[in-house]
Amino acid sequence: MQLKSVGASLSTRQLLRIARRMSAYPGESLYDILQKACLSKYVVSMLDNLRCCFLRLFKHDDMEVCGMQ
């Protein structure tokens, strides 16, 4: 993982959160903390896609929310 590319993709708030986490859990690796921070932005869309898949699978009434009819 390139630190320059990671630094450019993190907000100040995320960097402060990472610093607090490193202070609170000194044994946790910086690599793991950065990986979690960088992957967290994909989790929301992934969960939304998963929800839509379940709605489609079970033919739920709320399928319009996912753009399905």
pLDDT, one tens digit for every residue, the chain (69 residues): 556 666 677 888 888 988 998 999 999 998 888 888 777 767 777 777 888 887 777 776 655 656 655
What confidence score (pLDDT) does residue 65 get?
56
pLDDT at 48: 79
Task: Give me the pLDDT at residue 63, please.
Answer: 54
For residue 43, the enclosing domain spans 3-66
pLDDT at residue number 27: 92
Q: Is the pTM value of this prediction over 0.75?
A: no
Alpha helices in the chain (DSSP H): 3-9, 12-24, 30-57
Name the residue among 61, 8, 62, 10 with its Cα closest to residue 36. 10
Task: Give the chain's domain count.
Answer: 1
